[in-house]
Amino acid sequence: MTVMEQRGAYRPTPPPAWQPRTDPAPLLPDAEPYRVLGTDAAAKADPELLRRLYTELVKGRRYNAQATALTKQGRLAVYPSSTGQEACEVAAALVLAEQDWLFPSYRDTLAVVARGVDPVEALTLLRGDWHTGYDPREHRVAPLSTPLATQLPHAVGLAHAARLKGDDVVALAMVGDGGTSEGDFHEALNFAAVWQAPVVFLVQNNGFAISVPLAKQTAAPSLAHKAVGYGMPGRLVDGNDAAAVHEVLADAVRRARAGGGPTLVEAITYRVEAHTNADDATRYRVDAEVETWKRHDPIALLEQELTARGVLDEAAVESARQDAETLAASLRARMNQDPALDPMDLFAHVYAEPTPQLLEQREQLRAELAAGAAPEGAQ
């Protein structure tokens, strides 16, 4: 006698009907990163936009090289270079409308400068001079965030608040592959999707979180797949193809602006230089890998496309290089000036109402400065 026969006529009450709350299929990323340059899609790309992207990429690479050189001269404390990732940086800045907000991480100085922030002010934090270094409201650029992924909930909060107020604002938040393992990433994406906030998350998957390769960071099929678990679309894009990154981000921004909610974009790219000037990348990766990525260079890719289409001639290439040299020369000259700093500024803008501890420390520093002594603990 089978178990079912022993049970006789017993039939369990069927559970309440279940179906997925949303169809996951449209949220899934494509199997391959989206590409434009070197494909049929390139013919549809706006030549003016491509030319602008090109000029900014060339300027961006020169800026990275100059900032790295400034660390060697002791003019900059630390610089996390985005060489090799310029397409993501520039596209993220150019895709936004004036009223939108950019939420960068420490690696995203190029995006901040391409958005209009003064190139020296963008480095002030990394020089250790003064808090954020620029007025976030002027160009609607949040501070360069050093604590990983903390900029993401801020972006969601700002975007959600703007929507509640009826303001036409989209927030674009940038984060690295390592940052996707942080709790802040989860909380930000979850609330963004629940609230349908107008946010675009751009993950620059550059292969490493300092020395930790992606394979030791996650077992997900791709970082873009994580979007599905939150109920938002995930898009995969070739992060070295400036035209593709711009197009994918532009779609996501349009969707967010129209009330369609957030999108997670994973850009596949590579950090060509070390994590910062303080890191030795040869200790955890082989040169052959770096060389392979250098052959898929964002500037070369765009230059080939534009030259083939007759949009870029030698004079235009030279003019972009000149613009880049002018930027670097001005950065050098201005960073070589000793800024006049007031040590008391350390305590300004920390809290609207300073805590008793801060007031005490401020008075201690003031007394030491007045006595002409080096602050306690200084050499």
Taking alpha carbons only, the member of 338, 340, 339, 346 closest to residue 366 is 346
Q: Which is nearer to ligand TPP, 206 or 263 (CB)?
A: 206
**Separation of alpha carbons 27 and 332, rounded Å:** 46
- At its nearest, how many Å lie between ligand TPP and the CB of residue 209? 3
Q: How many helices (H) and strands (E) does the chain have?
A: 14, 7
- At its nearest, how many Å lie between ligand TPP and the CB of residue 35? 22
| Residues designated as active site | 271, 275, 284
Q: Which is nearer to ligand TPP, 45 or 126 (CB)?
A: 126
**Separation of alpha carbons 81 and 321, rounded Å:** 19
Residues 6+ apart with CB under 8 A from 158: 101, 103, 142, 169, 171
Contact 35, 269 (CB under 8 A): no
**Separation of alpha carbons 172 and 152, rounded Å:** 9
- At its nearest, how many Å lie between ligand TPP and the CB of residue 205? 8
Neighbours of 303 (CB within 10 A): 19
- At its nearest, how many Å lie between ligand TPP and the CB of residue 49? 26
Pairing relationship of beta strands 101-103 and 212-213 according to DSSP bridges: unpaired
Residue whose beta carbon is closest to ligand TPP: 176
- At its nearest, how many Å lie between ligand TPP and the CB of residue 120? 22
- At its nearest, how many Å lie between ligand TPP and the CB of residue 33? 17
Q: Which is nearer to ligand TPP, 37 or 90 (CB)?
A: 90
**Separation of alpha carbons 272 and 282, rounded Å:** 11
Which residue in this structure is represented by tokens 């620059």? 204
Q: Which is nearer to ligand TPP, 73 or 146 (CB)?
A: 146
Q: Which is nearer to ligand TPP, 33 or 179 (CB)?
A: 179
Residues that bind ligand TPP (CB under 6 A): 107, 146-148, 176-179, 206, 208-210, 271, 275
Contact 365, 101 (CB under 8 A): no
**Separation of alpha carbons 309 and 371, rounded Å:** 68
**Separation of alpha carbons 328 and 59, rounded Å:** 8
Which pairs from 338-345 meet CB under 8 Å and 24+ separation?
Answer: 339/129, 341/129, 341/130, 343/369, 343/375, 344/369, 345/130, 345/131
Q: How far is CA 338 from the centre of its chain?
A: 30
Q: Which is nearer to ligand TPP, 154 or 275 (CB)?
A: 275
Q: Which is nearer to ligand TPP, 169 or 223 (CB)?
A: 223
- At its nearest, how many Å lie between ligand TPP and the CB of residue 129? 20
